[in-house]
Structure 1
Amino acid sequence: MSMDTSLLAAYGSYKVPEIIVSLHTLDKHFLDRGFSMDLISFRLANSYFPYSITPPDLIPIADTGGAGIHFGFLTDFGRVKHLEDAPIVCVTPTDDPPLRLVARNIVEFMDLIVSVPHAECLEAWWPHRDGDQPPETYETVDDDAPQSLRLAYDEIHSRLKQELGAANRPVLPYLRETMNERAQSSVLSTLDGLGIIGNALVHGEHYAFQPHAPQDEAELQRMTAYFEAASSIEAKLAFIRDINYMYVHNQFDAPSPVFELLKQFMMSMGLYDEVTRMFDIRPTA
């Protein structure tokens, strides 16, 4: 399996799921044959290289090869016990909204992968999930592509079905169902649209961010006061999600004052895996 130390560190306390191991094994088989899952815009993650908008509780699975679009396991701040049960999120750094829930779990996510011409369709079709037909059509392979590539494309889908048990399913109705289920199970909304799963008795408190997201001492004190007075774990987690969404964090630079404070908040809650992803892993340029 081709994973460097940064990606293994991003898994933290989680075991790498067998389906991920199988995907890497299968992709190596394809590479030995002279092609890869790039043909379906599904490039397996080999290292941890998040964008500023990537949630701290997301572990990458793959990217599409364009515009920074990547997919990952959402651990819900460690509340998911096994990654096989984790929702799958698509991160689209240049789009609005940039975070898109696409599947209930990795098995159903792979169903979607074999149900679209290219993995990037999941990002492109997501805004149109209330419709009945895909808004765009994608050619499986360019018209002028050699026959060998066409055969390779077909083999990728065939092997994903044979070896991982992936099966075709209606994409848009599935996306709609998944989003509705997430909304119904979220006890607090968040600015990134993902929400917080937890105690259904939690009240809908939210931090009121100042315009233009200042990072002066007054704002830091106001944030600290809110965090310390927050009435539930869920409210604190929603606050963490919203800070990550509101402010820009560049892992190549020293943390800004807000992110230094955020690190303290996360450490106080025992969110060590999330702290590692945000502050300790140094991506390779």
Structure 2
Amino acid sequence: MVHSYEIPSLLEEIMTWEKEIKQKVPYLETPTGYFLQFDPTENGGYRSSPADAIMFAGTGMDGIHFSFLTEFGSVTDLSLAPIIRVDPMDFGNCAKIVAKNIRDFFTLHFSDHEGLLLNDFESKEHYLTYLKDQEGDDEESEYFDKKKWQWQKNEVRDFAMLRFGFQPILDGYAYMQEVRQARWNELIVTTSDGLGVIVRSTSVDGQNKPVPHPWHMKEIPDRELEQLKSYIVSAEQAGLFGFIRDCQVQGVDDYEVIQAICDQLISLGLPLEAKRLAYCMDMSSLI
């Protein structure tokens, strides 16, 4: 079954709201601090951008972007989809879960946890130190008025909390740890990018427990084309999805391998995932 994805109402409302208030906060590049968008075919365009991701926010910094994770079609209501951060420059650690859903994402953001959404911290103490350092950074220049920037930023935060009924998340660090642990507990197949695979319609009991691909947690032998293509066309879904994630992490970009993956995704009713994968692997001509 081919899935279609509609923009979550909250994202649509925030995009409209941004246009309404933009003139009130001219010192901010965008009111939310993100470049918001919605195109179900767009996953960010980097090789580390998961094929089952739909980008909705760019930061304008080092290619970092935020996306809905559709779990290869398992989540069709994007208001319920987990939110990931993709940092193409953080090699080997590019994709991270940052929020349970789009509402929690914006609640974190407007609860002054932008730094937590953009960065990883070794401990809560490191995060608290980061917050103190941010508060103490009062550097001014003739080109940038930080006090004006902060005042307008706070004004947007207050507008948003009231307009959308966000309830502040006080302990953002604890929230994110809980979300990531909850995802880990749901995984039926682990992958080297840490996202893993969740297929809600698949039983994980007894003999039906999914089997990872043959190169799980190993280097994928991208020169053994026939062996790889044979696996792709015969793999169970969970194993195949894990294989795709690991291919993206490892940068497997052989044309025949990506072609075989895209063909298999299309046969499973996932043409958008195939299109996104081909695009971010610079092989748009495949689809």
Is the 8 Å Cα contact of residues 70 and 90 (structure 1) preserved in structure 2?
yes
CA distance in 1, matches of 2:107, 2:230: 45
> What residue in structure 2 maps to residue 13 of structure 1?
4
Q: Note the C-alpha offset of 1:134.
A: 2.9
Q: Unmatched 5+ residue regions in structure 1?
A: 1-11, 250-254
Q: Is the 8 A contact 1:132 1:172 kept in 2?
A: no
Distance in 2 (CA, whole Å) between partners of 1:37 and 1:164 is: 21
**Counterpart contact for 1:73–1:87, Cα < 8 Å:** yes
Q: 1:106 to 1:40 in 2, by over 3 A?
A: closer
The amino acid of 1:51's aligned partner reads: Y
Alignment partner of 1:52: what SS?
Answer: coil
Superposition deviation, residue 97 in structure 1: 1.2
Note closer, same or farther for the CA distance 1:19–1:210 as it changes in structure 2 (3 Å cut). closer
How far the C-alpha of 1:22 sits from its partner, in A, is 1.1
* CA displacement at 1:163 relative to structure 2: 1.6
Is 1:235–2:232 an aligned residue pair?
Answer: no
In the other structure, the counterpart of 2:88 is: 93
Equivalent position SS for 2:130: coil
1:176 aligned partner: 177
- 2:212 corresponds to 1:205: yes
- Separation of aligned partners in 2, 1:46 and 1:35: 25
Distance 1:171 1:80, change over 3 A: same
In the TM superposition, what is the alpha-carbon distance from 1:172 to its structure 2 partner? 0.7
The percentage of counterpart residues that share the same residue type is 26
Given the superposition, is the C-alpha separation of residues 263 and 28 from structure 1 closer, same or farther in structure 2, using an over 3 Å criterion?
same
1:106 aligns with 102
Query: Which amino acid in structure 2 is aligned with residue 28 of structure 1?
Result: K
Once the two structures are overlaid, the 10-residue window that deviates more, 79-88 or 136-145, is: 136-145
Extract unaligned runs of 5+ from structure 2. Answer: none
Counterpart amino acid of 1:59? I
The within-5 A match list for 1:67-78 is 67-78=62-73
Q: Give deviations 1:59-81, integer Å, cap 9, x for gaps.
A: 11212221111111000011013
Shift in Å at residue 141 of structure 1? 8.2
Shift of 1:162: 1.3
Q: Residue type matched to 2:226 in 1? A: Q
Match of 1:8 in 2: none
Show the 5 A alignment for 1:260-275. 260-275=259-274
Residues 129, 100 of structure 1: alpha-carbon distance in 2 compared, 3 angstrom cutoff? farther
SS in 2 for 1:67: coil
Distance 2:180 2:158 in 1: 28
- Report SS of the residue matched to 1:196: coil
Structure 1 residues 236 and 215, CA gap change in structure 2 (3 angstroms) = closer
Once the two structures are superposed, residues 122-168 of structure 1 have per-residue CA deviations (whole angstroms, 9 ceiling, x without a partner) of 232x3435658534122498553265433311111112211222232
Matching residue of 2:13: 22
Structure 2: how far apart are the matches of 1:262 and 1:161?
43
CA deviations 1:156-208 (Å, max 9, x no partner) are: 11122112222321111011100110010111101211111133232443331
Tell me by how many angstroms 1:258 deviates: 2.2
Query: 1:191: which partner in 2?
Result: 192
Counterpart contact for 1:71–1:90, Cα < 8 Å: yes
CA distance in 1, matches of 2:217, 2:111: 43
Tell me, yes or no, if the aligned pair for 1:114 and 1:167 is still in contact at 8 Å: no
TM-superposed CA distance for 1:116, in Å, is 2.5
* Aligned length, in residue pairs: 262
TM-score normalized with structure 2 length: 0.80
